[in-house]
Amino acid sequence: MSSQIESLEIFLEPADRFRLASLAGPFDDNLKLIERRLGVELSYRDNAFKITGKAQINLAVAELLRKLYVETQVVKGKAAELDSEQVHLAIQELNVLEQLTDQSDIGKEAFIKTKRGVIKPRNPNQSKYVNQILNSDISFGVGPAGTGKTYLAVACAVDALERQEVRRILLTRPAVEAGEKLGFLPGDLSQKVDPYLRPLYDALFEMLGFEKVERLIERSVIEIAPLAYMRGRTLNDAFIILDESQNTTVEQMKMFLTRIGFNSKAVITGDITQVDLPKGQKSGLRHAVDVLADVEDISFNFFRSHDVVRHPVVQRVVDAYERWEEIQEREKIEKARLRRAEQAEKDEQNQS
């Protein structure tokens, strides 16, 4: 890809100041997010947008802006609001970030070395995820099961420990009841929550071996604990992984992020489509995606079904559920629209 910097001007039609304001976001936050993630400069006046960057990326950004502008279409006299999550997902859907990567280099800089062998990302999104972990203080990996979010995060933690970049690894998950009550499980508290932490143990055993993991746990070099145990602590010189973070509350997520001390790195993984929190309680992961989108030194990587590296049927399962959820969401929106229309008609009849 050519590295020459060029400028491209586009016009978003029809010109509508409310839709343009929604596209830009409060204080131009949406545009700043695009600039930061895609390495371009954006300026605009009315509906004329100027994109400055590499030629091929400029074209992709132009397509992205047009797509996002369509999503601001006016409904009931009001422009639809765009949030940071929608911008992130739009970038992912257009595969813009893959165009920023030299395909021949994928995985070369993202190799993770452990004593059990070299772990290599299997697709461009995994490669980008690993590089974000290595280069960011806090990294989020959001997406469906089977995309390697937790496994790669644990691999990066093991690598950092063996290179003595950190003094310990801390792995944690919220012990949320996924349809079953903890109180009915046999054993003490540790035995009750162990099944929730099993995927983290499995990844460690594969990379370090059972005996070494047991020794490191005994010496508190590796700590695996429920999220509730993090309250009140400050974690320095540590590589911290919060798994299944979609099951944190907003308060728990804030508590976890504020535990991070000097020379520490944190990775937060989760799937916002599999929340086991009580109905009506907002996921801390979903909230964090919105709140932290523009914070420096925090990176977000969004996985989709095509990133699944398990059995091919898993990808088809994820696709099927995504289609079903899209249909349900459209039906929900349509029902709400019909209710508003019926209410408006009743109001008019009452006024007359």
Are the beta carbons of 279 and 288 closer than 8 angstroms?
Answer: no
Q: Is 60 exceeded by the pLDDT of residue 98?
A: no
Q: Is 80 exceeded by the pLDDT of residue 329?
A: no
Same domain membership, residue 336 and residue 266: no
Same domain membership, residue 305 and residue 189: yes
More confident residue, 88 or 16: 16
Q: Using CA atoms, how far apart are residues 88 and 300, in angstroms rounded to an integer?
A: 8
Query: What is the predicted pLDDT for the residue at 340?
Result: 84
Q: Is 90 exceeded by the pLDDT of residue 268?
A: yes
Over residues 238-257, the mean pLDDT reads 92
Q: Is 70 exceeded by the pLDDT of residue 331?
A: yes
Q: Is 50 exceeded by the pLDDT of residue 131?
A: yes
Same domain membership, residue 327 and residue 269: no
Task: Kindly state the percentage of the chain with pLDDT values over 90.
Answer: 27
Q: Is 60 exceeded by the pLDDT of residue 102?
A: no
More confident residue, 179 or 201: 201
Nearest to 277 by CA among 197, 171, 198, 174: 174
Burial level of 176, CB count in 10 A (0-12/13-18/19+)? Answer: buried
Taking CA atoms, 123 is separated from 93, 107, 207, in Å, by 15, 8, 20
Sign of CA dihedral 102, 105, 109, 112: positive
Over residues 89-98, the mean pLDDT reads 69
Same domain membership, residue 203 and residue 167: yes
More confident residue, 326 or 68: 68
Query: What is the predicted pLDDT for the residue at 341?
Result: 83
Task: For residue 14, say if its preceding peptide bond is cis, omega within 30 degrees of 0.
Answer: yes
Please count the structural domains in the chain.
3
* 11 phi and psi angles, rounded to 5 deg: -120, 130
Same domain membership, residue 305 and residue 320: no
Select from 38, 68, 99 the last residue of a domain: 99
Same domain membership, residue 341 and residue 286: no
Same domain membership, residue 287 and residue 153: yes
pLDDT band at 326 (very low <50, low <70, confident <90, very high): confident
Q: Is 70 exceeded by the pLDDT of residue 113?
A: no
Mean pLDDT of the chain: 81
Query: What is the predicted pLDDT for the residue at 191?
Result: 52
More confident residue, 249 or 88: 249
We report the CATH number of the domain holding residue 56 as 3.30.1370.10
The domain in which residue 284 lies consists of 105-310
Query: What is the predicted pLDDT for the residue at 343?
Result: 83
Over residues 303-308, the mean pLDDT reads 75
* 143 phi and psi angles, rounded to 5 deg: 165, 180
pLDDT band at 313 (very low <50, low <70, confident <90, very high): low
Same domain membership, residue 35 and residue 60: yes
More confident residue, 48 or 97: 48
Query: What is the predicted pLDDT for the residue at 139?
Result: 94
Query: What is the predicted pLDDT for the residue at 13?
Result: 92
Same domain membership, residue 336 and residue 258: no
Query: What is the predicted pLDDT for the residue at 178?
Result: 44
Same domain membership, residue 176 and residue 244: yes
Query: What is the predicted pLDDT for the residue at 239?
Result: 94
* 148 phi and psi angles, rounded to 5 deg: 85, 15
Select from 52, 79, 99 the last residue of a domain: 99
Same domain membership, residue 192 and residue 116: yes
Q: Is 80 exceeded by the pLDDT of residue 342?
A: yes
pLDDT tens per residue, range 147-193? 889 889 999 999 888 887 888 999 888 876 444 444 444 454 445 55
Select from 99, 132, 160 the last residue of a domain: 99
Query: What is the predicted pLDDT for the residue at 100?
Result: 56
Q: Using CA atoms, how far apart are residues 246 and 141, in angstroms rounded to an integer?
A: 11
Query: What is the predicted pLDDT for the residue at 273?
Result: 83
Lowest mean pLDDT among 26-40, 45-59, 121-135, 176-190: 176-190
Q: Using CA atoms, how far apart are residues 151 and 119, in angstroms rounded to an integer?
A: 10
Q: Is 90 exceeded by the pLDDT of residue 236?
A: no
Residues 70/74/78/84 CA torsion (nearest 10 deg): -10
Q: Which of 8-22, 136-150, 270-284 has the highest mean pLDDT?
A: 8-22
Q: Is 90 exceeded by the pLDDT of residue 126?
A: no
